């Protein structure tokens, strides 16, 4: 841990929170650089951070800047990330040492954010949707590194489920194989990112932040390791019609395959294309679900 800590830098707000024992919630930076256009990305990042503060915790947006693992960003750094956008490297577990050693900038995915959050002693992380098994993975083997990270790194991740562009059934099968607990919050059915319903029964249901905090403490005390997923449905008023969003996803995937896009470029391309096909409605839903997840994550962190 000592060798890891020499690469960590904390924002003044996060450092003070750690010294005073305040609850902290980690946030990823890929959603800023690769998830939304500027300036909407920065506006959303600021709103998400404020939502965490309003719910009794301190936000720690995680990123890599000039080779430093940043735990908490200043307003100027958020603006820098938002403006630079997709010119910033998208960083998962395998990329961290390369970006650090070369003194470059990196936007952290779910996996990389979990790793750096754990190094910093942060137990709860809020995001939009996690990566998973891509559609057609039986041929392409396109499976997000996020899924393996859940079996390794002890962080509780609050999300709106796996991104709707993925194969949700295969994603759940993979997580079950890896022994990762998945909780649906106040529902028996897994949410499907843009919409509240997926038709897939959740392995576990939880109805309160207190319950989730108690389960996390028990898992930690038992030394089981690995992470926990809390799938928090998008608020009813922002939930999109399943048929409409699935039609947009199918069209976007067909276009992507025609263009030969794959790997790290898949998710940013699909999210952008779906936003255009839905006239911006998917972007608005994306923002609302992230805010909703941030609020729940803050309440869980406070219980811990």
Domain map (residue ranges) of the chain: 2-303
Considering the candidates 79, 90, 149, 163, report the single residue annotated as catalytic: 163
pLDDT digit string, tens, across residues 157-178: 999 988 777 888 999 999 999 9
Question: How many whole angstroms separate alpha carbon 129 and alpha carbon 19?
Answer: 31
Q: Can you tell me the mean pLDDT for 284-296?
A: 94
Mean pLDDT, residues 234-257 taken together: 86
pLDDT of residue 90: 94
What is the DSSP annotation of 204-273?
A: EEE--HHHHHHHHHHHHHTT--S-EEEE-PPPGGGPPPHHHHHHHHHHHHHHHHHHT--GGGHHHHHHHH
pLDDT at 265: 76
Using the predicted structure, report yes or no on whether residue 143 has a pLDDT greater than 90.
Answer: no
- What's the mean pLDDT in 230-248? 89
Supply the pLDDT for residue 4: 57
Average pLDDT, stretch 225-234? Answer: 96
Evaluate if residue 208 carries a pLDDT over 60.
Answer: yes
Cα 239 to Cα 195: distance, rounded to the nearest angstrom:
5
| Residue 217 falls in the annotated catalytic set | no
- Mean pLDDT, residues 230-252: 88
pLDDT at 149 over 80: yes
Say which residues have a Cβ less than 8 Å from residue 29's Cβ, sequence separation at least 6. Answer: 61, 62, 63, 73, 81, 107, 108, 113
Q: Is the pLDDT of residue 204 over 70?
A: yes
| Averaged pLDDT score across all residues of the chain | 91
Sorting pLDDT into bands at 50, 70 and 90, what band is 230? very high
Predicted confidence band at 97 (pLDDT cuts at 50, 70, 90)?
very high
Q: What pLDDT, on a 0 to 100 scale, did the predictor assign at position 24?
A: 98
Split at pLDDT 50, 70, 90, the class of 2 is very low
Percent of the chain with pLDDT over 90: 70
The CATH homologous superfamily of the domain defined by 2-303 = Indigoidine synthase domain (3.40.1790.10)
* Catalytic status, residue 28: yes
- Are 181 and 151 in contact, with CB atoms under 8 Å apart? no
| pLDDT at residue 3 tops 70 | no
pLDDT tens-digit readout, 106-138: 999 999 999 999 999 999 999 998 988 877 767
Model confidence at 1: pLDDT above 50: no
Helices (H), the chain: 2-5, 12-20, 30-33, 40-54, 75-84, 96-101, 110-119, 137-140, 145-152, 168-177, 209-221, 242-259, 266-277, 281-303
Which range among 138-147, 172-181, 218-227, 288-297 shows the weakest confidence by mean pLDDT?
Answer: 138-147
46 pLDDT exceeds 70?
yes
Q: Active site residue: 13, 28, 49, 149, which one?
A: 28
At residue 248, the pLDDT reads 85
More confident residue, 217 or 282: 217
Of 23-27, 62-66, 173-177, 247-251, the one with minimum mean pLDDT is 247-251
Sign of CA dihedral 242, 243, 245, 251: positive
């Amino acid at each position: 841990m000592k060798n890891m800590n020499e690469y960590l830098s904390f924002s003044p707000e996060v450092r003070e929170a750690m010294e005073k024992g305040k609850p902290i919630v980690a946030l990823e930076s890929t959603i800023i650089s690769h998830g939304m256009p500027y300036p909407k990305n920065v506006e959303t990042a600021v709103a998400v951070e404020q939502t965490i503060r309003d719910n009794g915790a301190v936000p720690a947006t995680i990123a890599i800047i000039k080779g430093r693992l940043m735990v908490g960003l200043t307003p100027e750094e958020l603006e820098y990330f938002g403006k630079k956008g997709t010119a910033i490297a998208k960083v998962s577990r395998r990329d961290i040492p390369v970006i650090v050693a070369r003194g470059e900038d990196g936007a952290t995915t779910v996996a990389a954010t979990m790793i750096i959050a754990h190094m910093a002693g942060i137990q709860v992380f809020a995001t939009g949707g996690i990566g998973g098994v891509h559609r057609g993975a039986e041929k392409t083997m396109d499976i997000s590194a996020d899924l393996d990270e859940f079996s390794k790194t002890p962080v509780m991740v609050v999300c709106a489920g796996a991104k709707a562009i993925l194969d949700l059934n295969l994603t759940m099968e993979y997580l079950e194989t890896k022994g990762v607990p998945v909780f649906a919050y106040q529902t028996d059915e897994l949410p499907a990112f843009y919409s509240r319903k997926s038709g897939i029964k959740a392995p576990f249901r939880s109805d309160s932040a207190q319950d989730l905090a108690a389960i996390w403490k028990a898992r930690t005390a038992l030394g089981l390791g690995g992470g926990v997923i809390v799938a928090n449905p998008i608020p009813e008023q922002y939930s999109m019609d399943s048929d409409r969003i699935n039609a947009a996803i199918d069209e976007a995937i067909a276009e992507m395959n025609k263009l030969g896009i794959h790997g790290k470029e898949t998710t940013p391309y699909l999210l952008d294309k779906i936003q255009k096909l839905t006239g911006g409605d998917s972007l608005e839903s994306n923002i609302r679900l992230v805010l909703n997840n941030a609020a729940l994550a803050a309440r869980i962190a406070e219980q811990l």
